Amino acid sequence: MGSIATAPGAQSRYTATAIGLHWLIAFGIFAAFGLGLYMTGIPGFTPTKLKLFSWHKWLGVTIFVLAVLRVLWRATHAAPAVAPGTPAWQARAAAGAHHLLYLLILVVPVTGYFYSLAAGVPVVYLGLWKLPVLIEANETLSPILKATHIWLNYLMATIVAVHAAAAIKHQVIDRDGTLARMIPFLR
Ligand code: HEM
Ligand code: HEM
């Protein structure tokens, strides 16, 4: 058993806030990911393409804010202990994947943000508020940040796929109610 299972104050279930943030962020990421692939596939520079780039950035910034709130919530609220009988290696793998996911939901939008700035395009949130220009346009940094944004996205997609597959396996094969912890109406 990992230390999480025996942590003092461990709860028997996730709080409604943790569940709400989990799914808001998950669907936000699915949308931002799909939009990212779609918009970059549009040839040339059309008004639609520019509009979709803006939407992608606003969605990404929103996800970042939600991710910060989520990490703060998690830091102050214990997660429920793993299902009894879970092999130690699985508990460790799940904890490792969760830590990486928390990191990626913060770092992926940050790389997108810095890429945009390095490419010389400040982000105007919802077309209303110009967000801080933390770095100047930089031709050397720009392609590196773009590649980092793309590859961290693929890394995140891979971990999410394994994470979702594990959750479904627990529900369908082990029937230990793990998925129901994040989807309460399955209970
Ligand atoms: C969790 C949030 C985000 C996700 C899941 C995401 C995902 C993606 C994906 C999948 C692509 C397409 C990559 C490809 O070319 O294959 C992309 C491209 C891009 N993203 Fe994001 N992104 C996020 C946040 C952001 C943010 C916050 C910004 C900027 C404020 C941003 C700016 C961009 C830009 C400018 C591109 C185009 C790169 C190019 O020209 O090829 N992204 N993103
Ligand atoms: C971008 C998508 C996703 C992200 C970033 C994500 C992230 C996370 C994180 C960080 C946790 C750990 C919560 C904690 O204990 O502190 C978690 C838990 C969980 N997630 Fe996801 N998730 C995503 C999508 C999904 C999907 C699609 C499913 C289901 C098919 C799912 C099912 C679950 C379940 C069941 C738990 C609770 C695990 C447990 O109690 O041990 N997640 N998720």
**Ligand 2 binding pocket includes 181 (Cβ within 6 Å):** yes
Q: Which residues, 6+ apart, have CB-to-CB distance to 79 below 8 Å?
A: 4, 10, 11, 14, 18
The answer to whether 79 and 14 are in contact (CB under 8 A) is yes
Is pLDDT of 187 > 80?
Answer: no
3-state secondary structure of 30: helix
Confidence of residue 10 (pLDDT cuts 50, 70, 90): low
| Radius of gyration for the alpha carbons in the chain, expressed in angstroms and rounded | 19
pLDDT single digits (tens) 11-57: 678 999 999 999 999 999 999 999 999 999 999 999 999 999 999 99
Is pLDDT of 1 > 70?
Answer: no
| Ordered alpha helix ranges (H), the chain | 3-6, 16-40, 47-76, 88-118, 141-169, 178-182
Point out the ligand nearest to the CA of residue 153.
1
Is pLDDT of 171 > 50?
Answer: yes
**Ligand 2 binding pocket includes 178 (Cβ within 6 Å):** yes
Is pLDDT of 93 > 70?
Answer: yes
* Averaged pLDDT of the chain: 93
Looking at residue 33, its pLDDT comes to 98
Mean pLDDT (whole number) for 108-123: 98
- Residue nearest atom 29 in ligand 1 by C-alpha distance: 113
Is pLDDT of 153 > 50?
Answer: yes
Q: How far is residue 32's CA from residue 144's CA, in Å, rounded to a whole number?
A: 20
Point out the ligand nearest to the CA of residue 131.
1
Q: How far is residue 158's CA from residue 33's CA, in Å, rounded to a whole number?
A: 12
The answer to whether 131 and 125 are in contact (CB under 8 A) is yes
Pocket test for ligand 2, best of 71, 170, 182, 187 (most atoms within 8 A of CB): 182
Confidence of residue 163 (pLDDT cuts 50, 70, 90): very high
Instruction: Residue 50: count other Cβ atoms within 10 Å of its Cβ.
Output: 13
- Residue nearest atom 33 in ligand 1 by C-alpha distance: 112
163 alpha carbon – ligand 2 mean position (Å): 7
Q: How far is residue 73's CA from residue 20's CA, in Å, rounded to a whole number?
A: 12
Looking at residue 86, its pLDDT comes to 87
Is pLDDT of 64 > 60?
Answer: yes
Write the burial class of residue 132 (CB in 10 Å: 0-12 exposed, 13-18 middle, 19+ buried): exposed
